[in-house]
Structures are given as C-alpha cells and as structure tokens.
Chains A and B, each alone.
Chain A
Amino acid sequence: MSKMTVKLFAGLMDYLPVKSTKAHGFDYPITDATTVGYLIDDLKLPRNVIHIVLLNGVYLDAETRDEVILKENDILGFWPAVAGG
C-alpha cells in the first residue's frame, strides 16, 4: 500500500495520532482513490477548525479540496486559522 505524510500544526496538533509535539507529521496509508475529504473524516479532524490546507505547499480551497485524490509521497498540512507578522 502507498503512503503519504500528514502534518498537523498549531491547535490541530491535539489530533496527532500519538500525542507528541516533537513531530508534526506521520505516515498515512492511501489507496489510489483516497481523497482529502476521506482523510479528514478518517482522522476525525474538526472541519470547523481546519482553515489552511496545503498539499505539497499549495493551498487547497475549501470548496474543492474534499475531492482531491492523494498520491504517494504527498505532503498534506493542516492549520486552523492563523496569522501573525
């Protein structure tokens, strides 16, 4: 089975499978039909908190991201609404 990397940041670190702030990322197994939407539900990530989703560094907008199919070695990062400066 193929795998890709999921990264959870800021307040979403609470949803890391093993509670650890040392690593933001973990491997996630995928088939050739695994979508971002499936992954979000499978990991029980709170949809009302997820704000920024970057697939290999590129922003996925909220309207279409659920349908995006993941590929081997993809890196998918999730953040709540954040800002600074």
Chain B
Amino acid sequence: MSWTKKVLRINLTAGTCSPEPLNMEWVEQFLGQRGLATKYLTEEVPPTTDALSPENTMYMITGPLTGTMASTAGRYSVVTKSPLTGAVACSNSGGFFGNEMKCAGWDMVILEGKSPSPVYISINDDKAEILPADEIWGKSVWEADEWLHTKHQDPQLRVAAIGVSGEKGVLYSAIMNDLHRAAGRSGVGTVMGSKNVKAVVIRGSKGVDVQDPKAFFDATNAGKKILAENPVTGEGLPALGTQVLMNVINEMGAMPTNNWKDSVFEGASKISGEAMLEPRDSDGKANLTRNGACFACTIACQRVSTIDPEHFSVQNRDDLHPSYHANSGGLEYEAAWALGSDTGVDDIDALTYAQFVCNEQGLDPISLGSTIAAAMEMYEEGFITKEDTDGIELNFGNAEAMIKCTELVALGEGFGAELGQGSSRFCAKHGHPELSMTVRGQEFPAYDPRGIQGMGLGFATSNRGACHLRGYTVASEVLGIPIKTDPLETEGKAGLQIAFQNATAAFDSAGICIFTSFAWSLEDVAPQLNAACEGEWTPERLGEIGERIWNLERLYNDAAGQGASADKLPPRLTEEAVKTGPAAGKVNGLATMLPEYYAERGWSPEGDVTADTKARLGL
C-alpha cells in the first residue's frame, strides 16, 4: 500500500508533534496531494483567515505514487492560504523531499500555529522534533542547508527551507528543497516564515510499499516506455529543458515583452535554450553544463549551468556563495521570460545570476520579474522616480538594474521590500493599478493570451491566480498536444480549458510531475495507481476527482472574496491590441469565453458553483 495512512501534525504555538491517521474517506474523494490537502484546508482554515496569522495552516503533502518507482514520483505540494492572492495556494515541487517524507512514514506534515522563536522541524522516521533555528535565521537557503547537513551529520538528509525573503515577508517567497527545487508560487514560503519556521528536514528509512508489486512494475515500466519514446519527454525536455519554448513562443508572437507592452522580444534568441548551448568567448564553455533529474524521473529536464566568469554579476565577487562561481540550478523558461523579456533584458548571464539568487533566497522568479517589469514601466512613464527606487535607473533593458532589484528583494531591503509586495500592491500604491499584469494578485506566466486565446481564460479562472500550471492549453494551441487547435480562435476553448484544468488537478494529486502529461493521459496513470494502492482508480473517476478538486478550490475562493469577481484580465489584454507579429490586432476574447466556461462547468451565469453541481460532485 503506497499510503502510510499517517499524518504528522505540528502545532508550533504549543510546541507539539502529534501523529494522526490520514482521513481515508477524503482520499476516496480527493486522491492525495493537491486535492486532499485542499480538503484539509477547507475544513480547518476559514476562508477569511489572515494568511500571515497563526490561524493559517500549511500542509506539506505527498501523493499516492510519491516515493514509489513510478516515473517522476518524487513530487510533493504545499497547500495553504496565499498571502499574495488571498486565495487557495498550492505549490508543487520535485527534487527528493517528497519521497523522503513518504519513506519516513508520513503522507503529510501539517504546520499550524506560530512558534514564539525561529525553529526548524526535524523528522527522522517516527521521531519528530521542533529545534531552535536561531543560528540559521537570517541565512540563505544554501547556507541553512549546509548548516543543517553539518549539524545532523547526514548527507542523505533532505531539506526544505526558506531564504531571507521569506523571513522578511516578501509576498512571493518560495520554499526551496534540495537547493534548487521550488514550491515556487503564491508565497507559500512567506507563510512558512510567518510561522517562524526556517526549514523542515527529513530522513526516512522505511521505504514505500505497493499493493501489487508485479502489476506495479508492469504498469510503471509501461509508463516509462511511453515517456522514453515520446519526442517531448524522451528527447526535447532532456536536451533543452523548458527553455526550448523561448523561440517558439516568440516566433508566434506571444512573448510578453516590456511588461506586456509588446509581444515579440528582439533578444529572445539570445536568452533561449538554444543559446544556453553556445560556447562563450571567455572560457569556451556553454551556459548549460548538463541536465539533471528529480527522484525517480526518467525525463530529466533540469538545467545545470554556470555563469560566465567574466560577467559583471560574478567577477571579483568573493562575497558570493561559491555556487555562483560553479555549476548550479540553471535557467528555466519562466525565469528567463519574467526576468528577461518582460524586463527587456537579453543578457543570459544576468538572467542566470538572477535565477541563482531566486534559488538561494527562495523567490518566485515569475512574480519577481513581473513586478520589476511593472516598476520599469512606472519609472519610464514618470509615475515613480529615482527617489522611489533607491536611486536605481529602472529602464527596460537595464540588466544591472534588474539584478540590483533582485538582490534587494531577496533580502527584503529598501526598495526591495516594496517590490516584494508584488506588482498588484506596488502599482496600486503608486496610482496605476492597470499596469499590474496579474489575476487575483498573482503575476502572469510567459504566454500572451492575445496570441494564445485559451490561456486568457485559464489565467482568469485559475484558482491560485494567474498561472500556466492549472490548465496548460498551450500544449494544444501551440504544440499540438494532444491535438492542434488554433491559438487565435476563442471557439471551443472553454471546453478545452476545463478538460486541461480537471486532468491537471488529478495529475497534481497523484504524486507525479505534470510534465508526464505531455505523453501520458489519465489512462496511463490509472493502472499505476491501481497497482500501488487500494481503490478502483479509473480514468473516468480520476477526471471526476479533478473536477471535484477544481470546484472545491473555487468554493473556498468564493468565500475568501476571490471567486467570480476576480475572473478578469488586466485591461491591457482585453482592450490594447497586439502591435506586431502574427497576433497583431488581437485582444483576448475573455468576454466571449467566460460565459461558455461557466455554463460548461455547471455554474450559474454569474460564475457561482450551483447546488446541482455541488450535489453531483458530493461537495
């Protein structure tokens, strides 16, 4: 049985660590990970709770396949109420932390209350302790990781930690595990910091059982064969990683540039996956050293990179952590876009440096880059001046300025503390909320929905605020997976987006990586679940579970004031037409798609989950 059926509940106010049984009735309805923890959240944390108060609770949770030898089965999620959006937050991470939690005998670790002083949580199989973290409070993720490994004298210890940004209340702080992997979005690291928790460290030696070992090996081997033979998961992602998208999205005219004023970035090819392979003049090395993989992953999309030693960001910088001068977690597409084309910066080494800073200090590079980009537009328009920016000349394309802002946000200092509140609060404070490219207060990812229509609907309805990982219709609209649809058309996109949203919620609840969905459907996931754990998991049932999760998240958001009234896009995307490229003249047709979406979801014309839909889904 791949469930441990055990939960570790840590009350930081009382200083207690208590085991309790996993609610298996909820497992039947919500599967695990994203779905199951959201159910716990909705039952335990009132939707109007202040996200940074001790009354908020944080759920670190695995899925049924986590820790098994199914491909990509190292995933875990952090579910809580988001301080950035006020909506439900669920951030998913790979690496080796999730599987270690399962191997220690826990499906989920719950952090509730608030510690009176900085602490970290140590879990070694059944033994859980709350220990002082005074010596690492104020340190970066990388420094804390080293200290914790030294203290515990265990190279196999798995660490999930926050950086200084999370301690300082930067609203898009991430929880980093295994140095470079992030539960990245919606400020889950900020919630951890608000509880005075610096890190959770885990060592597990129990292993994970599966229900039917023979059937499990057959099912997971079949799954791995599909991944290996698929050109995306077998070749494209290992070779160029997520960054393979930079040129595609730019060439089709959907690359948000200069805070979404433009949709084609001239410098895109200089910061692309292909560019990461080019030898540089200084030392003859390419930016990319090699790829890497998370636990049990047979795709291996991770980037491992170096910064040009002659680049200004690292040259003569003895003050930096040694990793800046060596191989570290390299540039991903979303970071390259947000810190790059959105700020007009086409310097690949500057972007790699900023990505390293995000990893070291636990920052979401999407929200960071987008907030800097919004500030750049405010600066160029004269809405803010050097007096507001600590003297930084914040023009588009200024790599030094982008780096300086990144460093300030990472430490929550000066102008960085203000940028650390996110673009929605920043732009509102300075009188121009329309320049914040956000939904529910969360910054957009790297796809202009004027050129990829279905993504506009996805952003507007995403339960955790603007996000590509809730319904990635880019797969269909651009890449032809599973079928090609016209990115400039709105027709049929409501149904397409719903299908992606529901299936994604099921994948996110199973303990596997969403990138498997480029090759797998729920038909491929179901047999792996059936062999791993009890219950009859059919593709149809998994689809229904996905729909149930989506509606549960929506109901929570409704009650938190982040429901239908927040289903909207910034005016730039629905009123300002794209200027150049293949999508020229287009705006996003949200007004056309949204009523269809509500109807196909079984919601009222106002966007409320109806009693009938609730009854049908058992909510």
Binding site for B on A (CB under 8 A): 7, 9-11, 13, 21-22, 24, 49, 51-52, 54, 56-59, 61, 75, 77, 79-85
Contact = CB atoms under 8 A, between A and B. Distances in A.
B75 to A, nearest CB: 15
A85 B248 contact: no
A47 B582 CA distance: 25
B235 interface: yes
Interface in B473-502: 474-475, 478-481, 484, 486-487
A81 B238 CA distance: 13
21 contacts: A7-B251, A9-B248, A9-B274, A10-B236, A10-B240, A10-B274, A11-B235, A21-B277, A54-B582, A57-B251, A57-B583, A59-B252, A59-B486, A61-B484, A81-B232, A81-B235, A81-B479, A84-B237, A84-B243, A85-B445, A85-B469
A52 B479 contact: yes
A33 to B, nearest CB: 25
A30 B487 CA distance: 29
A80 B242 CA distance: 14
* Range for the number of chain B residues in contact with chain A: 35 or more
Contacts of B244: 9-10, 79, 82-84
A10 B239 contact: yes
Contacts of B247: 7, 9, 24, 77, 79
Q: Chain A's interface: helix, strand, loop or mixed, by majority?
A: loop
Contacts of A24: 247, 269, 274
B515 interface: yes
B142 interface: no
A83 B278 contact: no
B273 interface: yes
A82 B245 contact: yes
Given A51-B480, A52-B479, A83-B244, 17 more contacts: A11-B239, A24-B247, A51-B231, A52-B248, A54-B248, A58-B582, A59-B484, A75-B251, A77-B247, A79-B248, A80-B236, A81-B479, A82-B244, A82-B248, A82-B479, A83-B481, A84-B241
A84 B237 CA distance: 7
Contacts of B251: 7, 54, 57, 75, 77
Contacts of A49: 231
Given A24-B269, A59-B484, A82 B274 contact: no
B253 interface: yes
A7 B246 CA distance: 14
A80 B274 contact: no
Nearest to A20: B278
B264 to A, nearest CB: 9
Given A21-B278, A52-B479, A81 B236 contact: yes
A56 B582 contact: yes
A79 B273 CA distance: 13
Contacts of B472: 85
B474 A82 contact: no
Interface string B79-123: 000000000000000000000000000000000000000000000
A28 B599 CA distance: 50
B380 to A, nearest CB: 27
A83 B479 contact: yes
Contacts of A52: 248, 478-480
Contacts of A58: 252, 582
A4 to B, nearest CB: 14
Contacts of B277: 21
A57 B252 CA distance: 4
A12 B490 CA distance: 32
